[in-house]
Homo-oligomer: A and B are copies of this chain.
Amino acid sequence: MTSTRPSTGKNPHGHAGPRRNVSARQAVLDAADDLLVERGFAGVTMEAIANRAGVAKQTIYRWWKSKVEILLDNLEEDGEAALAWNHGDGEPLAELVGQLSRLQAFLRDEAAGAVMHSLIGQALHDPDTAQRFREGFLLAQRRRDLAGLRNVLERLDCAPTGDAELAELLDRLLGPIYYRSVVLGISSSPEFLEELAHSVVGQAREGRRRG
């Protein structure tokens, strides 16, 4: 959501100077996204981004360390909104299924899903990317997911007391969806998602009874 360099504040010197060109920034983000969809991750080169965005390479390197950072910026802008929990006053279980569907749709989405898959892929290749990806997006999303899930379970009177138990429940919900999408490359059907939600909520209820 925020840019790579903290430069979008006051100019630190008493003096002046040009500010960051926002349209160039957006052009870079869009170019990277488009290239990813059109040519795949290997086609997302700094050269190609610069070319398509009509921007000098140096301008890209001034604001981003690598193409991964560019994709991360894209993910941060798209991901948070797309994966926000939508607490209404309806059926909590339906809400949970809805959230799982939203994740599934996000992962299948042409642009955002491609970025997500690419970043996971690159994180598997390179520890630095892994750290940036997790710190820059994944952990924040996980925190939001944990809060959302707790909210749902509390309304169903079966929220676990500990955070660890909640996290395990979350991973049992998200794990199969991610696994199918990321490793197997297949989608999860609505029925699967529904069964999954039911099963894990049932497990939470049982844990509640036992705990």
Binding site for B on A (CB under 8 A): 40-42, 117-118, 120-127, 130, 134, 138, 142, 168, 171-172, 174-180, 182-185, 192, 195-196, 199, 202-203
Contact = CB atoms under 8 A, between A and B. Distances in A.
Given A178-B179, A199-B203, A40 B168 contact: no
A120 B41 contact: no
Task: Tell me the number of copies of this protein.
Answer: 4
A124 B126 contact: no
Nearest to A198: B203
Q: Please report whether the interface of chain A is mostly helix, strand, loop or mixed according to DSSP.
A: helix
A37 to B, nearest CB: 13
A126 B121 CA distance: 10
Nearest to A40: B126
A172 B172 contact: yes
Contacts of A171: 176, 179-180, 184
B41 A126 contact: yes
B124 A120 contact: yes
A142 B186 CA distance: 14
A158 to B, nearest CB: 14
A203 B200 CA distance: 10
Given A40-B126, A118-B124, A176-B179, 19 more contacts: A40-B125, A117-B124, A118-B125, A120-B124, A121-B121, A121-B125, A123-B185, A124-B182, A138-B183, A142-B184, A168-B195, A171-B184, A172-B196, A175-B176, A175-B178, A178-B183, A182-B182, A182-B183, A202-B203
